[in-house]
Amino acid sequence: MNAISPPTILRSRKHTPALILRRATISTHRHFWSAKPAAMARINTSVEDFKKVLASSDRVLALCGAGLSAASGLPTFRGAGGLWRNHEATSLATPEAFAKDPALVWLFYAWRRHMALRAQPNAGHYALAELARRNRNFLCLTQNVDDHPQSQLRMLHGELLDLKCFDGCGYVERHNTSDPLCPALAAAAEDYPPDQTMPLLDPNQPIPDIKVEDLPHCPGCKTGLLRPGVVWFGERLDEAMLREVDDWIDKDKFDLVLVIGTSAVVQPAAGFVDRAADQGATLAVFNPDPEAAAGLVDGDYFFQEDSAKILPLVIEGVTRGAASPS
């Protein structure tokens, strides 16, 4: 189930793998986020036209963000109301924040785990899963932090349900679904009727007093705290995974790139989209925000709708057979 992605900002160069950075900095071709304004481009919004393009496409790349899961009830932490107890989500998603106040950060992530575990996939998720089933040359890059162990998905920002040692001893636990993760975090796993505010989410209510010794500790080194298995700001992405994606993109030209529920400015994901576009791929953006079309050019597609509504429409009835693995 797709969970919330880290906030959409550019990561610093020093945290970008050199292989990715080199290609991003020497490119003089099209940049998705800086192309001519949408008002100047002849952008196609026809569902029927797009179905034909999708049906004729072999290599297809999808980049998914937090907007994909909005219909499943998972907050995106964007715009008005994007705070958690008056904290910016970005201020809690750093190693420094965890070192300073691990109880506060763990309450935030324990609540997110609870939300993700009780959420259900929406129609947009099912549509993408069907596209992956039909086309073996489809690859999805997600900036979300859910747990989807499948061969055609790459988790750029880690996985919310994974745990690892904050002290770096190497201990990792995959797909821990305990909710609450420990008794001290029980306040983050409570359910309330829709007309009631969860006390943990009310900034006027005192936050639970949690001692560090009561938080999850690493069973490997016995001394470090466990932390969520996500990529925080200022941390490196998994370089082996990025190189795998890099090689897959370079293997052959692309026909189509889908940008779903994201503004596509996070590096290195934005660079992957650019490189596919440089190869002549058609771009299709699915986003209710009209500004998301700003980087499109003539012949691209823009659907200003919730992805849970539009993806089933554009993927339904596409009968292209599964392609041979490349």
User: Is the CB of residue 230 less than 8 Å from the CB of residue 104?
Assistant: no
| pLDDT, position 77 | 65
Which segments are annotated as binding site?
A: 165, 169, 218, 221
| Model pLDDT for residues 217-275, shown as the tens digit of each residue | 999 999 999 999 999 988 988 888 889 888 888 888 889 999 998 877 667 777 888 88
Which pLDDT value is given to residue 320? 47
Q: Note the pTM of the prediction, 2 decimals.
A: 0.80
- DSSP lists the bridge partners of residue 95 as none
Q: Comparing 40 with 77, which gets the higher pLDDT? A: 77
Tokens of 158: 């880690």
Instruction: Judge contact between 252 and 326, C-beta under 8 A.
Output: yes
CATH of domain 76-118+158-230: 3.30.1600.10
1-74+121-156+237-326 with 76-118+158-230: one CATH topology? no
Rounded to 5°, angle at Cα 143 from 2 and 297:
115
CATH of domain 1-74+121-156+237-326: 3.40.50.1220
On average, the pLDDT of the chain sits at: 81
Catalytically active residues are 157
3-class SS at 14? helix
Query: Which sequence spans correspond to the domains of the chain?
Result: 1-74+121-156+237-326, 76-118+158-230
CB 21 within 8 A of CB 236: no
Binding site membership for Zn(2+): which residues? Answer: 165, 169, 218, 221
DSSP notation for 126-192: HHHHHHHHH-TTEEEEE-S------TTEEETTEEEEEEEETT-S--EE-----SSSSGGGGGGG---
Dihedral of the CA atoms 134, 139, 142, 146 (nearest 10)?
60
Query: What are the tens digits of pLDDT across the range 85-107?
Result: 889 888 999 999 999 999 999 99
- What six digits make up the tokens of 87? 């904290």
Cα–Cα distance for residue pair 281/59, rounded to 1 Å: 9
Q: What is the mean pLDDT of residues 6-21?
A: 29
- Burial (Cβ within 10 Å: 0-12, 13-18, ≥19) of residue 324: exposed
**Given a cut of 90, is residue 41 above it in pLDDT?**
no
Greater confidence (286 vs 4) lies with: 286
